[in-house]
């Protein structure tokens, strides 16, 4: 597993250099605009609840690793509640036609975000090798760790405007995303490194790491395009260039 973790680390650094991260770091853009992709991220944020509960979790657990995955699933599987709170705080809880909302959530502009969720379900639902699920979790956690680190910095700026804590975008969420599976164990990383993989397992694991990172990269690139086209106060209806919103209020 050590080589797989090394690949994840490499992909993590690559992911951290992407255009989405640069956008989050650009202080010339209003923090609300830098997080204007939030509503479009809903298909993933909400599906993640089911992914943790129905795909990753297995009760009662039949191994130490499944027990760790279960613990992880209870933690990560409840973060959607924070997402809803943030959407409310950010003013996206306005009444909207049900059918318009459905069109938005399953629309053209959230395709990659949905695909990212679908692929995770596709990879893990019928996967019988728990180590492959672990590889997927480790890859997801690496992307989450990098993205939430940058997002939390934007949320700090946002807090100056909203005067409220942002449970999903803020530091408290980042604090929960250590970059590794969230299980009550002191030496998680050492334990993971000590796991031996066969050659075929290693080969499959490398493919899965590449796949998860490719999906997250495409999804976050899609979110960047969304934030560039939708003013933060009109995310559902208007698609146009938002150069006028580039300066902080
Ligand atoms: Fe999370």
In this structure, which residues have their CB less than 5 angstroms from ion ligand 1? 79
pLDDT tens, position by position, 172-204? 999 988 888 888 877 888 999 999 999 999 999
DSSP 95-146: ---HHHHHHHHTSGGGHHHHHHHHHHHHHHTT---HHHHHHHHHHHHHHHHH
What confidence tier does 66 reach under pLDDT thresholds 50, 70, 90?
A: very high
**CA 72 / ligand 1 centre spacing (Å):** 10
**CA 48 / ligand 1 centre spacing (Å):** 9
pLDDT tens, position by position, 92-148? 998 889 999 999 999 999 999 999 999 999 999 999 999 999 999 999 999 999 999
What confidence tier does 244 reach under pLDDT thresholds 50, 70, 90?
A: very low
**CA 240 / ligand 1 centre spacing (Å):** 31
Residue 29 lies in a domain: yes
Query: Is the pLDDT assigned to residue 242 strictly greater than 70?
Result: no
**CA 79 / ligand 1 centre spacing (Å):** 5
**CA 184 / ligand 1 centre spacing (Å):** 16
**CA 61 / ligand 1 centre spacing (Å):** 22
* Total structural domains within the chain: 1
**CA 76 / ligand 1 centre spacing (Å):** 5
The pTM of this model reads 0.92
Average pLDDT over the chain, rounded to an integer: 92
**CA 153 / ligand 1 centre spacing (Å):** 16
Q: The domain spanning residue 136 has which CATH number?
A: 1.20.910.10
Q: In terms of residue numbers, what domain contains 81? A: 2-228
Three-point CA angle 70, 76, 80, nearest 5°: 135
Identify how many contiguous H helices and E strands the chain contains and give both numbers: 12, 0
Residue 240 lies in a domain: no
Residue 243 lies in a domain: no
- The whole-angstrom separation of Cα 86 and Cα 152 is 12
**CA 173 / ligand 1 centre spacing (Å):** 6
């Amino acid at each position: 597993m050590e080589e797989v973790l090394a690949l994840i680390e490499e992909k993590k650094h690559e992911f951290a250099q992407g255009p989405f991260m640069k956008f989050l770091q650009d202080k010339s853009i209003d923090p609300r605009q830098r997080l204007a992709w939030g509503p479009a991220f809903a298909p993933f944020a909400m599906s993640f609840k089911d992914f943790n509960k129905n795909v990753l979790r297995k009760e009662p657990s039949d191994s130490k690793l499944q027990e760790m995955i279960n613990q992880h699933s209870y933690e990560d599987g409840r973060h959607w509640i924070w997402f809803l709170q943030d959407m409310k705080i950010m003013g996206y809880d306005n009444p909207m036609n049900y059918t318009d909302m459905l069109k938005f959530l399953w629309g053209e502009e959230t395709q990659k975000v949905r695909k990212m969720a679908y692929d995770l379900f596709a990879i893990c639902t019928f996967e019988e090798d728990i180590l492959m699920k672990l590889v997927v979790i480790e890859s997801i956690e690496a992307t989450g760790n990098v993205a939430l680190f940058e997002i939390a910095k934007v949320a700090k700026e946002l807090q100056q405007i909203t005067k409220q804590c942002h449970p999903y975008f803020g530091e408290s969420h980042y604090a929960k995303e250590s970059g590794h599976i969230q299980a009550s164990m002191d030496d998680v990383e050492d334990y993971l490194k000590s796991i031996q993989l066969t050659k075929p397992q290693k080969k499959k694991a490398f493919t899965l790491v590449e796949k998860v990172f490719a999906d997250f990269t495409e999804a976050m690139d899609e979110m960047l395009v969304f934030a560039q086209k939708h003013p933060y106060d009109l995310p559902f209806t208007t698609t146009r260039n938002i150069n006028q919103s580039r300066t902080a209020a």
